[in-house]
A and B are shown apart, each in its own frame.
Chain A
Amino acid sequence: MIFQKPSKQNVEVEEIYTEETIQETEDNIDTVVGPSVNVEGDFSSEGNIIVKGTVTGSVHTSRVLSVEPGAKIIANVRAGSALIAGEVRGNMKIKDSLELSATARILGDIEVKTLSVEPGAVVFGKITMPGIEGVEVKSGRRSRKTEEVAGSQNEEYLG
Chain B
Amino acid sequence: MYVYLYDSFLEQRKYTSIIKAIENRLTDYGISGKILRLNNFIDAKPIIDDEIRRGAKNIVIVGNDKTFGLVLSRGAGSDCVFGFLPIGTENNTVAPVLGIPINEEGVEVLAKRKKEKMDIGLVNNRFFVSQLHVMASKVQVIYDRKFKVTAVDKMEVVVCNFQPFYWKKDKKDKEIQVVHPQDGKLEAFLRPLTKSGWFGYKYEEPSIFPFEEMEIIGENAFLVETDGRQTKEISLKLKLAKSKIEMIVGKNRMF
Q: Which residues of A contact B (CB under 8 A)?
A: 5-8, 11-19, 21-22, 24-25, 27-45, 47, 52-53, 57
Contacts and interface: CB of A to CB of B under 8 A. Distances in A.
Interface string B110-122: 0111111100000
Given A11-B31, A21-B182, A37 B208 contact: no
Interface in B72-113: 111-113
Contacts of B114: 14-16, 18
B29 interface: yes
Contact of B147 (A12, A16, A40, A47): A40
Interface in B171-196: 177, 180, 182-185, 187, 190-192, 194
B151 to A, nearest CB: 6
A27 B209 CA distance: 10
Contacts of B204: 34-37
B149 interface: yes
A8 B27 CA distance: 11
Contacts of B151: 36-38
B111 A11 contact: yes
Given A32-B207, A34-B205, A17 B115 contact: yes
Given A11-B31, A34-B204, A39 B147 contact: yes
B207 A53 contact: yes
A28 B185 CA distance: 10
B210 A31 contact: yes
Given A35-B205, A37-B192, A29 B180 contact: yes
B117 A22 contact: yes
